[in-house]
Amino acid sequence: MAIDQNQRKANYILTTQDTSPEARKFMASAGPQNAYEYALIVVGKFPEGEKEIAINAMYAYHYARYVIKGRFLPGEKMIATSPEYAFEYARCILEGRFPEGEKAISTSSSFSYGYAHFTNRKFPIGEKAIAKDGGYSLGYAVNVLKDRFPEGEKAIATSPRYSYEYAKDVLKSRFPKGEAIIATNAMYSYEYAKYVIKGRFPEGEEIIASSPKYSRLYKEFLDGN
């Protein structure tokens, strides 16, 4: 793809690290990427280019983090529209909540869980998204709620590992919704029997029997009870 004349000029300014008033003026209106890169590579804090940088969530966040190393108020409105950069701005710049970005964050399973974990508080508006993913639902229950997360149990119950860990670490008792999936895995069937039920797990015995290792361990466990 051909580079247009303006981009050629921007590239030249970046390469030669031109800090003249004419170069600064040009780069201030040469698009968010060029304005950000000029700040990062050449001049540092770049007040003339901040209006341009502020129209792009990624460059606004990067300008805050890597150039001014602090809040970038003109860019916060745009940063708040991006789940990823709203989360990263809260975590790396504000080191706390970013209320303006919470609506966007709440649309993403991963960033909703990450935000809740990072802020160490429930994130109710993100729970619908978190509940779509078994791993994040388990993490939310273990690390944030420190209690059951009923909305996420359907997703948790799709994984032998998550079902077992949810039973052991959260419920500290059986997890009926997850037993069918646990019973498809010899290791987790054995561990579920030993550490959760503390007795036989008939539903998992067929898969346990298919594994010499866990068949032996299961027999030793039952014989010792």
Q: What is the end-to-end Cα distance of the chain in Å, rounded?
A: 72
Tokens of 124: 């109710």
SS3 126: helix
pLDDT at 186: 98
Do 192 and 167 meet the contact criterion of CB atoms below 8 Å apart?
yes
Greatest distance between any 2 Cα atoms in the chain: 85
Tokens 């970013």 label which residue?
98
Q: ∠220-222-225 over CA atoms, to 5°?
A: 110
| pLDDT tens-digit map of 149-194 | 999 999 999 999 999 999 999 999 999 999 999 999 999 999 999 9
Amino acid sitting at position 12: Y
The pTM of this model reads 0.92
Amino acid sitting at position 34: N
Do 142 and 152 meet the contact criterion of CB atoms below 8 Å apart?
no
Could you tell me the CA-to-CA distances from 55 to 31, 36, 50, 81, 169 in Å, in that order?
9, 11, 9, 11, 45
| pLDDT tens-digit map of 56-77 | 999 999 999 999 999 999 999 9
pLDDT at 2: 58
pLDDT at 61: 98
Q: What is the mean pLDDT of the chain?
A: 97
| pLDDT tens-digit map of 194-221 | 999 999 999 999 999 999 999 999 999 9
| pLDDT tens-digit map of 129-144 | 999 999 999 999 999 9
Total Cβ atoms within 10 A of residue 25? 12
Total Cβ atoms within 10 A of residue 48? 16
pLDDT at 224: 85
pLDDT at 83: 98
Check whether 47 has a pLDDT greater than 60.
yes
- Cα(55)–Cα(76) distance, rounded to whole angstroms? 10
Which secondary-structure segment (H or E) carries 189?
Answer: helix 186-191
Could you tell me the CA-to-CA distances from 32 to 37, 40, 166 in Å, in that order?
8, 12, 45
Question: What own/partner pairs with CB < 8 Å and gap ≥ 24 does 144-147 have?
Answer: 144/113, 144/116, 144/117, 144/120
User: What are the extents of the domains in the chain?
Assistant: 157-225
Q: ∠98-103-107 over CA atoms, to 5°?
A: 120
